[in-house]
Structure 1
Amino acid sequence: MPGTQREVSFCFLAQPTDVNFGGKVHGGMVMKWIDQAGYACAVGWSGEYSATVAVGGIQFKQPILIGDLITVHCQLIYTGTTSMHFAVDVFARQLQSGSEVLATHCVIVFVALDGAGKPTPVPHWQPASEDDKALAEYAQKLMALDRGIEQEVARYRTVLNNASGGA
């Protein structure tokens, strides 16, 4: 039922096919896991097909090894009219020692789409606890930073176009 599933966790083992030439899980695979968990959470919240529109603040903090137990935890932290922002943490646990680390963190944004592929409204989420309020504030701060990045990219493109003669 839309507006009720606010978080999702995936658990699985890191596979030999997930690693790069250095023997660690490569960032692209971790990003795939993040996108899959975000999609499940976005559809669970909105009740609609949803598409990724942004990933912000991604940090690869610790390497992930073959055989680590991976937990990808995705939690809704903000809703706009048609958008949903999720905090995603990727944890890696070594089964032999039981030690667990935060391997990756980011915020991923999805937009719900109707049958025609147009943005459609999502159920509003209202933070209730102090933790929820802090998460919503975190999402809003990241949105402000993203606006600043967009302005810088536009400025850079203008400079680049002027330097290349508008090509």
Structure 2
Amino acid sequence: MEPRQREITLRFLAEPQDVNFGGKVHGGAVMKWIDLAAYACAAGWSGRYCVTAYAGGIRFVAPIHVGNLVEVGAKVIYTGRSSMHIALEVNACDPKSMNRRLTTHCIVIMVAVDESGQPINVPEWVPETEADKKQHASAVKLMEMRKQIGEEMQIYVE
């Protein structure tokens, strides 16, 4: 059996159609790239079709300009029964200089589903390095925080 793919990097060139009214790449375009990378990462780990269950903690740190080379790195940091927590980092640079800078980061939770759209088990990811263990622990802590936030958000859906 081939080893599971835990990490992936997608690369894009920021194009004119990605620009917002302020002349920078639209946050929605960045979020689409994040979702694509999260899917590719989750599918690579699980070997299954996956759907987005949650995207949160997104931070837009710096703008992306038209013509920038954009790299979206994604890696599994926690697995549940059918879910995978994917940490994502977006970096951009002028392709002529290759001076990369962090522009965005977030967490996305993907769920593997079967042919009828029902959740299906995924292989467990076990952290090995100290950095992996810290990210895994952070994912567990964030799950608890999301539960509390979800309870608070109920006021808006009733």
Task: Please classify the TM superposition score into its range, dividing by the shorter chain length.
Answer: over 0.9
Q: TM-score, normalised by structure 2?
A: 0.95
**Which protein is bigger by CA-based radius of gyration?**
1
Aligned residue in 1 for 2:48: 48
Cα deviations by residue, 1:61-103 (Å, 9 ceiling, x for unpaired): 0000001110000000000000000000000112344322110
Q: TM-score, normalised by structure 1?
A: 0.90
In the alignment of these two chains, the number of paired residues is: 158
Q: Retained in 2: the 8 A contact 1:2–1:123?
A: no
Which residues of 2 match residues 91-130 of structure 1 at below 5 A?
91-130=91-130
Which stretch shows the higher mean deviation, 1-10 or 119-128?
Answer: 1-10
Residue 89 of structure 2 aligns to a residue in which SS?
strand
Residue 51 of structure 1 aligns to a residue in which SS?
strand
Which residues of 2 match residues 1-167 of structure 1 at below 5 A?
4-154=4-154, 156-157=155-156
Structure 1 stretches of 4+ with a deviation exceeding 4 A read: none
Shift of 1:43: 0.7
Q: Which runs of 5+ in 1 are unaligned?
A: 162-167
Question: C-alpha distance in 2, partners of 1:19/1:115?
Answer: 37
Aligned residue in 2 for 1:165: none
Q: Which runs of 5+ in 2 are unaligned?
A: none
Question: C-alpha distance in 2, partners of 1:101/1:157?
Answer: 36
Question: C-alpha distance in 1, partners of 2:115/2:13?
Answer: 35
The letter for the 1-side match of 2:65 is L
The letter for the 1-side match of 2:104 is T
